[in-house]
Structure 1
Amino acid sequence: MKKLSNWKTPLTGLAILTLIVTLAMPVSAKTWKVAVGDAANSAQHEMGKKFAEALESKTDGKYKVNLFLNGQLGSEQDTVNDCSMGTLDFSLLAINNITPFSPTVGSLSLPYVIQSLEEAEQLTQGEVGKELAANTIRDAGVRILGWTYTGFRVLTNSKRPVKTLEDLKGLVIRVPKNAIMIDSYKAWGINPTPMAWSETFTALQQKVVDGQDNPFLTVHSMKFYEIQKYITTIRYIFSLEPLIVSEGLFQDQSKEMQAILIEAGKEATLHSAAHLRASEDAIKKDLVDKGMVIDEAADGEKEWIEKATKAVWPKYYDSIGGKDKLEKILNTLGRSI
Structure 2
Amino acid sequence: MSFKFGKFAVAAAMTIGLVSVASAQTIRVAHVDPDEWTASKKGAAAHIFKNIVEGETNLKVDLYPAGALGNETELVGQAAEGLTQVVLVSGAMSKICPAAGVLDIPYTFSSATLAWEVLDGEFGKALGEHCLELTGLRTLAYGETGFRNFTNSTREIRKPEDMKGLKFRVQPIPLYVEMVKGLGGEPTPIAWTELPNALTTGVVDGQENPVGVIYNNNLHKLQKYMTLDGHVYGADFILISDEFYQSLTPAQQQVVDKAAKVAGTMGRAIQQWGTAEGVNKVKAEGMQVYSPTAEEIAAFAEKAQPAVIDYLRTELGEDAVWIDRLQEAVAAAAK
Sort the TM-score into its range (normalised by shorter chain).
0.7 to 0.9
Determine if contact 1:150/1:217 at 8 Å carries over to the other structure. no
Distance 1:137 1:197, change over 3 A: farther
Partner in structure 2 of residue 55 of structure 1: 53
Conservation of the 8 A alpha-carbon contact between 2:165 and 2:186: no
Q: 2:70 aligns with which of 49, 60, 74?
A: 74
Question: SS of 2:31's equivalent?
Answer: strand
Match of 1:101 in 2: 96
* Alignment of 1:86 onto 2:82: yes
Q: Partners of 1:176 and 1:251 in 2: how far apart?
A: 37
d(CA) in 2 for partners of 1:208, 1:42? 30
- Asked if the contact 2:96/2:135 (under 8 Å) is kept, the reply is yes
Match of 1:188 in 2: 183
Once residues 295 and 228 of structure 1 are traced to their aligned partners in structure 2, the CA distance between those partners, rounded to angstroms, is 13
Partner of 2:3: none
The answer as to whether partners of 1:161 and 1:231 remain within 8 angstroms in 2 is yes
Q: Is the 8 A contact 1:154 1:214 kept in 2?
A: yes
State how far apart, in whole Å, the 1-side matches of 2:234 and 2:169 are.
Answer: 16
Backbone CA RMSD of aligned residues: 3.0
Q: Offset at 1:231?
A: 1.3
Q: CA deviation at 1:317?
A: 4.0
1:60-105 deviations in whole A, cap 9, x for unaligned? 6x41231321x343332332223222333333222x3211221221
In structure 1, what is the Cα distance between the partners aligned to 2:193 and 2:273? Answer: 28
Q: State how far apart, in whole Å, the 1-side matches of 2:192 and 2:236 are.
A: 14
Identify the residue that residue 224 of structure 1 maps to in structure 2: 219
Per-residue deviation, 1:334 = 4.3
Residues 83/290 of structure 1: CA separation in 2 closer, same or farther (3 Å cut):
farther
For residue 10 of structure 2, what is the aligned residue in structure 1? none
Match of 1:125 in 2: 120
Q: How high is the TM-score relative to the length of structure 2?
A: 0.77
Deviation at 1:297, TM superposition (A): 4.4
Identity of aligned residues (%): 26
1:20-73: CA deviation from partner (whole Å, max 9, x where unpaired): xxxxxxxxx83614122467513222222322222232236x41231321x343
Uncovered stretches (5+) of structure 2, i.e. residues with no partner: 1-24
Q: Report which stretch shifted further, 106-115 or 279-288.
A: 279-288
C-alpha distance in 1, partners of 2:258/2:241?
A: 16
Q: CA deviation at 1:144?
A: 1.8
In structure 1, the partner of 2:18 is none
CA distance in 2 between counterparts of 1:164 and 1:45 reads 36
Match of 2:266 in 1: 271
TM-score using structure 1 length: 0.77
User: 1:277 Cα shift?
Assistant: 4.6
Alpha-carbon separation, structure 1, partners of 2:183 and 2:233 = 18
Pick the structure with greater CA Rg: 1
Q: Which of 297, 301, 307 matches 1:305?
A: 301
Q: 2:144 aligns with which of 137, 142, 149?
A: 149
Question: Given residue 51 of structure 2, which amino acid in structure 1 is its aligned partner?
Answer: E
Partner of 2:5: none
CA gap 1:327/1:124 in 2 versus in 1, 3 angstroms: closer
Q: 1:321 to 1:80 in 2, by over 3 A?
A: same
Q: Secondary structure at the match of 1:333?
A: helix
Q: Distance in 1 between matches of 2:89 and 2:184?
A: 28
